[in-house]
Structure 1
Amino acid sequence: MRRGLKITLVTVTGAALTLGGASACGGKKAGGDSGDDNGKKTLKVGLAFDIGGRGDQSFNDSAAAGLTKAEKDLHVTTKEISAQPDEPDSDKESRLRLLASTGYNPVIGVGFSYTASLLKVAKAFPNTKFFVVDADGCKVEGANVAGSCFSEEQGSFLVGAAAALKSKTGKIGFIGGVDVPLIQKFFAGYQAGAKKAKPGITVLPPKYLTEPPNFNGFKDTGLGNEAAKGQLDKGADVIYHAAGGAGIGVIKTVGAAGKWAIGVDSDQYNQPAVADVKTHILTSMVKHVDLSVFNFVESVANNQFKAGTVQYNLQNDGVGYATSGGNVDDIKAKLDDLKAQIVAGKITVPTKP
């Protein structure tokens, strides 16, 4: 169940910061927040979303799915707080401090942009366990800090191969939310996979919706819509997006044009927001953020927490590609062969374009 929650924080400078659009979810045992019927303390998990929050039908929703599974399977209680577009890093820090100071342990930050703030707050709360999804540089520090990172380039390699094999015009496109190294990894893998599958394919120059510090490229569907139109006009008949919530605009525009769209993070074929064009979703590069969130919460619940980062890749099925809709059934054997070659070390996927 979700219910509206408006939280006002006070920053270290004394300025008031209002975080709208936050939500809280209860997954309580019979004994409430403090314990269950056997006197065992119930875990209280705090999660701070990236821009777009729950409902982006992509990256954040994947994290939310992991938290929901933890509520169901581990009987934890949770609180969620959403980020705001173009917010300063101090907002992220205040959000994490709020969760930790009100008894939430562990605390999760969703997205690489939380890394610096989370590491800072973790030092102030040494008895609280912290976790960052997409740890910047795949590095964290501190005895109470864990993180996950993903080989996005490997999953993107496979959907790039799919794009090339399915293209009829010989031109494919890529739209990234924000021009940062993480999103460049998606393009690097996509381009390499396309060239491996069909050396003569034309991969259009990538289009990034915004530049840092503007991260609205992960949320504004209108930006995704316009970028998709631009690449369609250049002849692309398959377009892959790595743009979070803004990617919904990409998928809807590409689908309306009768061309192939490739989703990201979640299996977007099954997302309600694109139900009217889902038959034009070729596949999605699936990034199991949900698995990383659940695994972390489970480790804390079972007193098996380990500091440091965990890498999710093709070998441990942390990334992959979706088959919903059956649109890649005819090339699945080729994609799985490429996957096997990557896992075996016969193909090294680049992380930079």
Structure 2
Amino acid sequence: MAHIPARRTGAALAGGALVLLAGSLTGCGGESAANSGDSGSGSGELTVGVLFPGSLSDDGFMESAYRGYQRAAKEHRGKVAFSKVEQVQAADYEQALVRFATTSDLVISLGGQTDADVRKVAARFPKVKFAEVGGPADGKPTANLALYDPQQAQAAYLSGAAAALLSKKNTVGFIGGAELPAIVNAAKEFERGARQAKPGVKVLAPSYVGDFNDAAKSKQSALADFGAGADVLGQILNLGHKGLAQAATGRGSLLIGGPIAHPCGSEKAYAGYVETDIGAELEYATDQLVQGKWKAEAVHFGLTFEDPQNNLVLCDGAAPAVVEKLDDIKARLASGKITTR
């Protein structure tokens, strides 16, 4: 693989995977939200509860975040008792957050789809600390609510640049799981990155599937874009990306993957991946809690953070000129010479 290096690579595309899967307020083993922990609560331990709206094995945002959850639980074993709930219906977010708020020192919610509920619950429990990962990039923290931005817009910018430079038909497209603010903004940054890398490239209007895990609908959207002339697609999907791969393979076209990268050649049609470590934000929140430094702040991660999480990996076969151009774009993003919204 042709790597465009970063100090740290991660597992899932930031901020996007807003998966609204059907589920109940139970953990993996049917436990209640308050009891679905990986570490037991002991005397003197701090407590952290995490709401994962989607599946922990979605090959996307939630899975990346869960990897960080596992790392944090291992790192702080004996100091922090963790509990979690996954696959929660949107109507039940508030109830899950209230359950955590009654038993936790820190409550973390994943995905911008939880924004309204976590703000509401945080206001009801002013003595509990809250953190939202992947909410609106322009959101404001409150007295007890921190906002962590994984900079998925930055990752989308890189994806757009790579798609444009790899396109032979000079036409690219973007497919998102849902028309939510963070995903719409990422689509705009995908277009900006494409035009920065290759002025004059045609960028199709973004498509929004309506479900991050629906492979059939994702395939239909991809076929429509390929039919409109695109030969490289960027995406923010979870399991739905399997439909994109089927469509791309059948048309001899390419995809830019992520947020979790896989070995080149293991997934047909993937020309490269943009990796983002969402789990690093759970680790950050927990570290701050343990050290007594936690505060209600807005933190922007990505390439400009002290320990960057976004990374672009191109598979073998990319022309040296393409790699060089993308190296330059990534360096300018990291330095702040190129900014995303």
Into which bin does the TM-score normalised by the smaller protein fall? Answer: 0.7 to 0.9
The structure carrying a bigger helix percent of its residues is 1
- Provide the rounded CA distance (Å) in 1 between the counterparts of 2:41 and 2:148: 27
SS, match of residue 22 in structure 1: coil
- Provide the rounded CA distance (Å) in 2 between the counterparts of 1:234 and 1:258: 14
Per the TM alignment, residue 240 of structure 1 is displaced from its structure 2 partner at its CA by: 0.8
1:151, 1:313 within 8 Å by CA — same for their partners in 2? yes
> 1:43 maps to which residue?
46
1:255, 1:278 within 8 Å by CA — same for their partners in 2? no
> 1:80 maps to which residue?
84
> 1:117 maps to which residue?
117
* CA separation of 1:344 and 1:18: change in aligned 2, threshold 3 A: closer
Q: Which stretch has the larger CA shift, 299-308 or 133-142?
A: 133-142
Aligned length, in residue pairs: 310
2:141, 2:147 within 8 Å by CA — same for their partners in 1? no
Residues 260-309 of structure 1: CA distance to partner in whole angstroms, max 9, x if unpaired? Answer: 11123332x25xxxx98524222223333111111101111222111121
One-letter amino acid of the counterpart of residue 306, structure 1: K
Gapped regions of structure 2 (runs ≥ 5): 1-21, 30-35
Q: Does 1:165 align with 2:192?
A: no
Q: 1:239 aligns with which of 229, 233, 236?
A: 233
> What are the equivalent positions in structure 2 for 1:179-328 lying under 5 Å apart?
179-210=179-210, 217-267=211-261, 269-270=262-263, 278-316=267-305, 318-323=308-313, 325-326=315-316, 328=318
Identity %: 28
Per the TM alignment, residue 104 of structure 1 is displaced from its structure 2 partner at its CA by: 2.7
* CA separation of 1:43 and 1:153: change in aligned 2, threshold 3 A: same
TM-score, with length taken from structure 2: 0.81
- Provide the rounded CA distance (Å) in 2 between the counterparts of 1:106 and 1:218: 28
> 2:4 maps to which residue?
none
Residues 149-208 of structure 1: CA distance to partner in whole angstroms, max 9, x if unpaired? Answer: 133332222221211111112221110111122112211121112112222322122111
SS, match of residue 218 in structure 1: coil
Q: Does 1:59 align with 2:61?
A: yes
Q: 2:324 aligns with which of 315, 329, 333?
A: 333
Residues 329-353 of structure 1: CA distance to partner in whole angstroms, max 9, x if unpaired? Answer: 733221121122334444344x4xx
Per the TM alignment, residue 140 of structure 1 is displaced from its structure 2 partner at its CA by: 4.1
**The structure with more radius of gyration:** 1
- Provide the rounded CA distance (Å) in 1 between the counterparts of 2:233 and 2:268: 14
SS, match of residue 107 in structure 1: strand
2:52, 2:88 within 8 Å by CA — same for their partners in 1? no
The structure carrying a bigger strand percent of its residues is 1
Root mean square deviation of aligned Cα = 2.6
- Provide the rounded CA distance (Å) in 1 between the counterparts of 2:177 and 2:95: 25
Gapped regions of structure 1 (runs ≥ 5): 1-16, 36-40, 211-216
* CA separation of 1:250 and 1:279: change in aligned 2, threshold 3 A: closer
